[in-house]
Structure 1
Amino acid sequence: MSNVSIQHVSYQNLGWQSAADLYLPPGFDDTKKYPAIVSTHPIGSCKEQTSGNIYAKALAEAGFVTLAFDASFQGESGGSPRFIEDPSIRTSDIRFAIDYLVTLPYVDQDRIGAIGVCGGGGYTIHAAITDHRIKALVSITGVNFGRLIREGFSEFDPVSALQAMGKQRTAEAQGAERHVIDYLPPSVEEGRANGITDRDVLEATDYYKTARGQT
């Protein structure tokens, strides 16, 4: 049984609060200094799934203070409207997570790393380009969200996708009901039956829409 302890925390983001789980190593002593890691969840995921229950837990067991957070507009974090997936804000979320870690007296601010899974891996790389407080990073099956939108999610017709987005924004600005897209089909079989062939989309469905990705 793991002796990792978890603290539920929140901290200031742009105009809202971010919610996170802080994983503390076994035998944690707040008078000591620990290396710390920010763990960023995949697109459409949350702090409890994958970034937290798998990676943050394992990293804490290895002696790292690890912060798994919910993206802005998602999970328990603030921000409205809900369910936005904005790459620039997702990258900014990582910087705000580091801002929180450096306020903790037991975190060694010169030993902060970052890990990201799937889409979170792409955002983590982008954050590290300009935030040199990140001393080491790992991107696990990192996904380029821009490529995924241009290819897999738009079925290789990005111009039509952009035109549809523009029409929907206009409609919503004029009072139409908000349209929220579930990018993944209910199952791999249904996705293939509807003509989806993109490997990233099908493999993501095989993980996130089955029991193994829910625990």
Structure 2
Amino acid sequence: MSHTIETVQFCNPGMAWAIAADIHFPPHFDKHSQYPAIISAHPIGSCKEQTAGNVYGAALAKAGFVVIAFDASYQGASGGEPRFIEEPGQRVEDFRQVVDYLVTLPYVDSSRIGVLGICGGGGYAISAAKSERRIKAVVSITGVNFGRLSREGFAGHDPLGTLEAIAEQRTVEARGGQARVDDVLPPSVEQAMQAGISDIDVLEATDYYKTARGHAEHGPTRILFSRRAAAVDWDAFHLAEVLLTQPLLVVIGDKPGGFGAYRDGQEIYGRAASKDKELLVVPNTSHYELYDQPEATGKALERVLPFFKKHLSA
């Protein structure tokens, strides 16, 4: 069975720009009925058309859910200037704005809203759920705590030196100088290997984003360097042992890589206050295989679909 997709833009009261999203409808959708809804959040440097939409969004819709895959503010087809900002506070606020939009749709049951995030989107989904009580169930697919990654790998394990460099660059831009936009990935796998890069996450991310496998116009993997300071001073899991009480499913692969999803998944599973929580470690599976490879995503969905059906049932 196929499903239909509607592209929307919405600007809730108080928003300065519009959020762009794709709504994936279940087969035989009836606008006069009410459905459980799932927010699907894309990875860092990604967009709604990639894994959040064309893999997990599509599968969840075919299973009977209304799914909304949205572009983060400053990214994709959503508004916000300057572009390519990866600001955790705004990323979390985006979830609240999406929930605000969902509760206005007559075919969405506002008491049955869940969230799924992939990679950085998984970390943001967890962070949002801690304080957004309208979210009733949480799934993290190879989720990454972007704050930890920003202090470690993305900072060369020198967060203070990185903050000093960010401060200098922000001053340059405030005085009218040229912005610095970094591509967080090499141009190709071949060039990465020639440069001596061997980390599985970097190589597989490059294969996903820089080839026809996963390339999308609005998924450029670029970040504005001068606006990275907030991420260094942020933690997706802060107070999780107090505030993260919703049912939680954490899915990770057992092949650790430099982006740290295996480590982060184990940590949040242990720390979450959720009384109903599950950890799925998919064997012989890497971070990026859980983006789009049928065997890996199939094993994940074998747990994701019944999890949401259980916790978002009428």
TM-score, scaled relative to structure 1: 0.93
CA distance in 2, matches of 1:196, 1:66: 37
Offset at 1:189? 4.1
**Structure 2 Cα separation of the partners of residues 151 and 204 of structure 1:** 18
Q: Tell me the equivalent position of 2:97.
A: 96
Alignment match, 1:206 = 207
Q: Is the 8 A contact 2:207 2:213 kept in 1?
A: no
Between the aligned partners of 1:157 and 1:112, the Cα distance in structure 2 is 39
Aligned partner of residue 207 in structure 2, secondary structure: helix
Q: What SS does structure 2 have at the residue aligned with 1:211? A: coil
**Structure 2 SS opposite 1:212:** coil
Question: What runs of 5+ residues in structure 2 fail to find an aligned partner?
Answer: 217-314
**Partner secondary structure for residue 46 of structure 1:** coil
Listed one character per residue, the Cα deviations across residues 33-72 of structure 1 (whole Å, up to 9, x for unaligned) are 1000000001111111111111111111000000001110
Match of 1:47 in 2: 48
- For residues 146 and 198 of structure 1, the distance between their equivalents in structure 2, rounded to whole angstroms, comes to 20
Give the letter aligned to residue 76 of structure 2. Answer: G
Task: Give the distance between the partners of 2:17 and 2:115, measured in 1 at CA.
Answer: 22
- 1:180 paired residue number: 181
Q: 1:149 corresponds to which residue?
A: 150
Q: What amino acid is aligned across from residue 9 of structure 1 in structure 2?
A: V
User: Residue 187 of structure 1: CA displacement?
Assistant: 2.7
Instruction: Give the corresponding residue for 2:7.
Output: 8
Q: Is the 8 A contact 1:110 1:133 kept in 2?
A: yes
Length, aligned pairs only:
214
Spell out, residue by residue over 1:130-175, the C-alpha distance to the aligned partner (whole angstroms, 9 max, x if none). 1111111111010111121112122222222111111000000001
Distance in 2 separating the partners of 1:192 and 1:163: 30
Q: CA RMSD in A?
A: 1.6
Q: Tell me the amino acid that sits aligned with residue 51 of structure 2.
A: T
Task: Kindly provide the CA deviation profile for residues 74-100 of structure 1, in whole angstroms up to 9, marking residues without a partner as x.
Answer: 111000001101011011111111111
Cα distance in 2, alignment partners of residues 155 and 198 from structure 1: 14
TM-score normalised by the chain length of structure 2: 0.65
* Alpha-carbon distance in 1 for matches of 2:196, 2:87: 27
Task: Provide the secondary structure at the position in 2 that maps to 1:148.
Answer: helix
- Cα gap change, 1:197/1:163 in structure 2, threshold over 3 Å: closer, same or farther? farther
1:188–1:155 Cα change, 3 Å: farther
Give identity over the alignment, percent: 62
